């Protein structure tokens, strides 16, 4: 996709962090944006932050884990701007814990937002994009947690691996169309992701108390996020990827060794499989 002026982007989780950074980047190149977010107050604040962009910002309260809410938000976007050209399935929540200790409700929350939210966005917007036929692009926000399993982050990693896989699948399925697909895999970004529980369902049980090792890790992660890349830089990299029609968007070079190590282990497992001899 090369022409942005006058086109429309729909951004889930658009009221904060990376989503808000994407909105600013799209507005700067003349697009209209629809911010779909579960937090009404944050949407109002975002609308205020973006008021310099005339009337090119629409906000809609939407819980992406609920299909009907996504359909309503999509219909609002189409009613307001006619056509949607860029879809950013970006809303996400951080939720962790050791796999055997995470409550079923916490699995449902994290997978509901991070995976089903993305699936809902795809199923409700792709037919619209195919029908209007203009160049389009889909950006699914995964994470470096979609490239490596991390102890203590089971639900989050499972959801993000799934988003990477969905994006790869989709790129193949849409190859013959003019809808591009990117999957965004950032490392630490300075946002409110560490406060994700502010948007959790009211009946979500508190997480199990972390042992000393996990508590120390949580403090370390808090600092890594606070010192992380700016959402504006992430958004600039996304803009470049949309223009270049890149499938993968990586932002944190220091995390490459962990991916290389994973592929080396997979390669070694194939070597071992090649040497396998059926016991007589
Ligand atoms: N910040 C990081 O270090 C980092 C790293 C890798 C990936 N990510 C991913 O980036 C995406 C954006 O997160 P962020 O870091 O900007 O955090 P953030 O908390 O600042 O923003 C997330 C936004 O999503 C919204 N949201 C939460 N649940 C929702 C729901 N059910 N429906 C609609 N909106 C909902 C929140 O209200 C918020 O506005 C997420 O998918 C996250 O997993 C973040």
Q: Domains of the chain: which residue ranges?
A: 8-274
Which token pair is 166?
Answer: 């969905």
Ligand 1 pocket check for 113: Cβ under 6 Å: yes
Confidence of residue 130 (pLDDT cuts 50, 70, 90): very high
- What does the pLDDT read at residue 207? 77
Catalytic member of 10, 109, 156, 188:
156
CA torsion sign, 193 to 194 to 195 to 197?
Answer: positive
Q: Is 92 in the pocket of ligand 1 (CB under 6 A)?
A: yes
Q: Of all residues in the chain, what percent carry a pLDDT higher than 70?
A: 99
Ligand 1 centroid, distance to 145 Cα (angstroms): 14
Alpha helices, DSSP H only, in 82-144?
A: 104-111, 117-132
* Burial class of 16 by CB neighbour count within 10 A (0 to 12, 13 to 18, 19+): buried
Q: pTM for the whole thing?
A: 0.96
Q: Across residues 110-134, what is the average pLDDT?
A: 98
Is 156 annotated as catalytic? yes
Nearest ligand 1 atom to alpha carbon 231: 16
Q: Hey, what CATH class is 8-274 in?
A: alpha beta
* Dist. CA 266–CA 229, nearest whole Å: 30
Cα separation of 245 and 241, whole Å? 6
Q: H-helix or E-strand containing 40?
A: helix 40-49
Q: What is the DSSP letter of 31?
A: -
Ligand 1 close to Cβ of residue 129 (< 6 A): no
* Confidence grade of residue 218 (pLDDT, cut at 50, 70, 90): confident
Atom of ligand 1 nearest to the CA of 191: 20
Q: Distance between CA atoms of 78 and 187, rounded to whole angstroms?
A: 33
Taking the CA of residue 18 as reference, the ligand 1 atom at the shortest distance is 16
Is the CB of residue 86 less than 8 Å from the CB of residue 139? yes
**Cβ of 124 below 6 Å from ligand 1:** no
Give yes or no for residue 180 CB within 6 A of ligand 1: no
């Amino acid at each position: 996709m090369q022409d942005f002026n006058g086109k429309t982007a729909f951004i889930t989780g658009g009221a904060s962090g990376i989503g808000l950074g994407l909105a600013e980047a799209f507005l700067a190149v003349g697009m209209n944006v629809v911010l779909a977010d579960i937090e009404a107050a944050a949407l109002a604040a975002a609308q205020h932050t973006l008021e310099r962009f005339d009337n090119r910002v629409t906000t809609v309260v939407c819980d992406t884990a609920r299909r009907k809410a996504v359909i309503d938000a999509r219909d609002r976007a189409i009613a307001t701007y006619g056509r949607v050209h860029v879809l950013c399935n970006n809303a996400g929540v951080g939720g962790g814990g050791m796999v055997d200790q995470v409550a079923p409700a916490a699995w449902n929350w994290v997978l509901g937002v991070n995976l089903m939210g993305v699936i809902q966005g795809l199923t409700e917007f792709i037919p619209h994009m195919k029908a209007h036929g203009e160049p389009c692009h889909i950006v699914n926000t995964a994470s470096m947690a979609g490239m490596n399993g991390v102890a203590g982050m089971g639900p989050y990693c499972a959801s993000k691996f799934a988003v990477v896989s969905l994006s790869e699948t989709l790129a193949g399925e849409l190859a013959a169309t003019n809808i591009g697909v990117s999957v965004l895999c950032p490392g630490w970004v300075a946002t409110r992701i560490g406060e994700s529980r502010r948007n959790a369902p009211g009946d979500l049980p508190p997480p199990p108390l972390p042992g000393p090792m996990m508590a120390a890790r949580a403090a370390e992660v808090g600092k890594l996020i606070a010192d992380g890349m700016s959402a504006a830089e992430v958004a600039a990299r996304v803009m470049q990827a949309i223009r270049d029609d890149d499938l993968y968007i990586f932002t944190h070079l220091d995390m490459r060794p962990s991916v290389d190590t994973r592929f080396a282990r997979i390669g070694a497992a194939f070597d071992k499989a090649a040497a396998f001899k059926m016991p007589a």
